[in-house]
Amino acid sequence: MEVQPLNPSSAFSAVDAEQGHWTLAAVETAVDAIITIDEMGSVEYLNPAAQRMFGFAKDEIVGKNVNILMPAPYRERHDGYLKNYRDTGIRKIIGIGREVMGRRKDGTAFPISLAVSEVHFAGRRIFTGVIHDISERRRAQEEKDHLLHQLNRRNRELSCLYRVGELVRPGDISPDIYRKVVDYTHAAIANATVSGTQLTIEGEVYVSEPFQQTPWFVSAPITVLGGLRGLLEVFLLEHPSGQDGREAIDGKQNLLNAVARGLAEAMERTEAEAKVIHASKLASIGELAAGVGHEINNPINGIINCADLLLKQVEPDSKARQFAELIRSEADRIAVIVQNLLTFSRQDKQQFSAARPCDIVDVVLNLCGKRLAKSHVQLDVNVPDALPRINCRSEQLQQVLMNLIINAVHSLDERYPGADPGKTLRIEAEQVPSPDGPMLRLIVRDNGTGIAPEHAGRIFDPFFTTKGRDKGTGLGLAISDGIVKAHNGTIIATSKYGQGAAFRVDLPMGGAVAPTPTSKPRRND
């Protein structure tokens, strides 16, 4: 645009002069910054708004290169832009508004909207820039973008939690479900900083695709009935830093915690349902055992009576008498076993009463004697008859001891499949002092395979077992723990893996009753 200089002789010179003063007043009072430069980039004018915006006084900036108002890298490139325009006439910013960065006198950079126009005046080329500080607009946009990002992230997380909840709601949790949980979690949490998601549960590991393990991760434990059962982890490509990094970590942590809780609750629900079903089955088995026991009693009594008649009719040293005595002995043993089964089936109705520790041990050994002999276990029993009686439910304590012996035999069979001199089981009891009064300490010790370190924290969990499917229910130690606690006692396991284990049961003697003298010999076979 070519602007002609004012001609004082013109009839309109007075009007033009008045218009020039009016234009100058408008520029001086404009809200936006206005700066003019020559074609070499030297500042010729800046209005008060520009002085306030950049922090320079007029005499500090006029005559200097305008790039003083630009941060790097704009400052280094500006002179080249001007030269390129002078040489080629190709416009890159003139007549086109754009957002760039400005630099204040104190060195701080801030976003600006810049519109540049070109004017030819008196044979000169002058560029005028109108500048608007868009810091607030940029902050508002960044906040809007941040909130939108947070909303999208929340939507992904809610979708993940809904899908995980639908997966585990039926309660039948399988490896395929674990893999889907990993996929859903990774999809909800994945971004440029995430290298993979991993779920470790029940000793099995499930990972996302793709997956890369790094030193930086966020994790959430999966805790079921107070025991650690697994871990959900998200690995990161770099260490998070700054406010954004901390917010991102918090978001990931919250999602992992929620997914881990969902898995834990589903596992607890599944195990509780299985426990109820199994308890119902056990109750039915108990009723069946009681019925069978009563039915067996009648023919056993008949066998005993017949054996007694034979004993009266045969010669004292005859072979027939030996057979008759063997029949009577085995029939008596069957009667004892049946009686103990009946006692077990009635344990829930039993009240606390005084019982001798040695009698409790004898009843259990009568029940499992054949099992010990079949496994060639060397039994060592040290339960003195002189131990005071304890106030207890004796049949329940028999069940505790039975469970400990069965577990010990299983461990011994694993380490020694056949007969071996080292295949030993020791049962011992003694009275020990405690701050709350005298305690009965019962220890069942074996030198079998012991307890693996990774299983040590779970051996008292319901349905946890290392035995095969047909060799154990995983309820023995859990029930034993409950019985001992109901007696205000404690049960503790110690083990050296590969060398054996010992279970120590401490029970309060309570109102101990003095033992009844007996000449009955103690077992040590």
pLDDT tens for 290-318 read 667 667 877 888 888 888 888 888 888 88
Residue 17 pLDDT: 57
First to last CA, the chain: 120
For 321, phi then psi, to 5°, come to -65, -40
Closest CA to 234 of 217, 250, 249: 217
Residue 315 pLDDT: 86
Residue 464 pLDDT: 60
Residue 3 pLDDT: 40
Which tokens sit at 279?
Answer: 């308890």
Residue 284 pLDDT: 63
Does residue 111 register a pLDDT over 90? yes
* 243-300 confidence digits (pLDDT tens): 666 767 877 888 889 888 888 888 888 777 766 666 666 566 666 666 676 678 778 8
Q: What is the mean pLDDT of residues 492-514?
A: 82
Does residue 8 register a pLDDT over 50? no
**Pick from 213-217, 238-242, 433-437: least confident:** 238-242
Average pLDDT, the chain: 81
Does residue 5 register a pLDDT over 50? no
CATH number of 351-525: 3.30.565.10
The pLDDT confidence band at residue 112, using thresholds 50, 70 and 90, is very high
Residue predicted with more confidence, 456 or 402 = 402
The pLDDT confidence band at residue 340, using thresholds 50, 70 and 90, is low
**Pick from 45-49, 79-83, 280-284, 293-297: least confident:** 280-284
Task: Supply the DSSP string of 339-396, one letter for each residue.
Answer: HHHHHHHTGGGPPPEEE-HHHHHHHHHHHHHHHHHHTT-EEEEE--TTSPBEEE-HHH
Residue 299 pLDDT: 86
Q: Is 164 exposed, middle or buried (0-12, 13-18, 19+ CB in 10 A)?
A: buried
Residue 519 pLDDT: 36
Q: For tokens 């207890």, what's the residue?
A: 392
503 and 459 Cβ atoms separated by less than 8 Å = no
Closest CA to 231 of 216, 243, 221, 245: 221
Q: What is the mean pLDDT of residues 430-443?
A: 92
Residue 142 pLDDT: 84
Does residue 154 register a pLDDT over 90? no
Q: In 418-489, which ranges are E strands? A: 424-432, 439-446
SS3 522: coil
What percent of the chain has pLDDT above 90?
29
34 and 115 Cβ atoms separated by less than 8 Å = no
Cα(309)–Cα(325) distance, integer angstroms: 11
Most confident of 75-79, 384-388, 510-514: 384-388
- In this structure, the number of other CB atoms found within 10 A of the CB of residue 453 comes to 9
What percent of the chain has pLDDT above 70?
83
Residue 35 pLDDT: 93
The pLDDT confidence band at residue 86, using thresholds 50, 70 and 90, is confident
The CATH 3.30.450.20 portion of the chain extends over 2-133
2-133 is a CATH 3.30.450.20 domain: yes
20 and 37 Cβ atoms separated by less than 8 Å = no
Residue 370 pLDDT: 85
138-273 is a CATH 3.30.450.40 domain: yes
The CATH 3.30.450.40 portion of the chain extends over 138-273
